[in-house]
Chain A
């Protein structure tokens, strides 16, 4: 991943030196040509192309924006209800993520989508304790997190 980006940058610099064109446009043209070369030689790299990861990250961003709007509408519904029949709950969420940044990102995403707040990370960093404002069905909430955010983060971090 990092090697591929470095290679792409080196090719862009090489293009600039070849053409004696030390401007931003020269760099961008060289970068695009380098990207084409990297795509052409994709069988030589072990692991995925870095463009796939960038694409996965963009998808994660849009997923987050979508979830943010949907969850805000859900909280609005809870707030404006005349009768308070919501069921707050604490529950434990076992995560499969291992890296520090993955867990931080997942926690931030869970906290930023309204209705759920991460209150604690367990000492072995294997599970998160989450408070939900309206968890009629805890298992359903857990599944929704697992299938949306955690899957998308794994998609980004998979080597």
Chain B
């Protein structure tokens, strides 16, 4: 980054980024939940969410995005790891082997008959780790100092 860089008016890019961010974010959530039966899952969903945030970083800058999303990505990574480990370790306490998954069918309002699976919680851990690690790397590289 050159210090004497001219400030240009990125009006079109910024406005488009604001709208496209939501589209990418929704698509990443869809991909995350589609992971059980169709292609998708925690890793791809996490990368898509990171790409949505990176788009904002490109359109605005790191400082602004940090103000908009005041998230400590280190804590996010740690939370994801704890969640994945807890999901894997929980069966030990009920006398099942490590990493046994449970699932059952529940009648949820709005959704109807839904199969809830603990693998989704593990996937959520993966999701958080991927977003946290990617954003940590990009923030660390992107800083001017």
Give chain A's interface residues, CB within 8 Å of chain B: 100-101, 103-104, 107-108, 118, 120-123, 125
In the complex, what residues of B have CB within 8 A of residue A100's CB? 11, 14-15
In the complex, what residues of A have CB within 8 A of residue B16's CB? 104
In the complex, what residues of B have CB within 8 A of residue A103's CB? 11-12, 15
Give chain B's interface residues, CB within 8 Å of chain A: 7-9, 11-12, 14-16
The answer on a CB contact under 8 Å between B11 and A125 is yes
The answer on a CB contact under 8 Å between A121 and B11 is yes
Q: How far is the CA of A125 from the CA of B16 in the complex (A)?
A: 16
The answer on a CB contact under 8 Å between A104 and B11 is yes
Q: How far is the CA of A78 from the CA of B22 in the complex (A)?
A: 40
The answer on a CB contact under 8 Å between B12 and A122 is no
How far in angstroms is the closest Cβ of chain B from A128? Answer: 10
Q: How far is the CA of A104 from the CA of B16 in the complex (A)?
A: 8
In the complex, what residues of A have CB within 8 A of residue B15's CB? 100-101, 103-104
Q: How far is the CA of A121 from the CA of B8 in the complex (A)?
A: 8
The answer on a CB contact under 8 Å between A120 and B11 is no
In the complex, what residues of A have CB within 8 A of residue B9's CB? 120-123, 125
How far in angstroms is the closest Cβ of chain B from A26? Answer: 17
In the complex, what residues of B have CB within 8 A of residue A107's CB? 12
In the complex, what residues of A have CB within 8 A of residue B12's CB? 103-104, 107-108, 118, 121
**Which B-chain residue is minimally distant from A101 (CB atoms)?**
B15
How far in angstroms is the closest Cβ of chain B from A27? Answer: 16
A-B contact pairs, 25 of them (CB 8 A): A100-B11, A100-B14, A100-B15, A101-B15, A103-B11, A103-B12, A103-B15, A104-B11, A104-B12, A104-B15, A104-B16, A107-B12, A108-B12, A118-B12, A120-B8, A120-B9, A121-B9, A121-B11, A121-B12, A122-B9, A123-B7, A123-B8, A123-B9, A125-B9, A125-B11
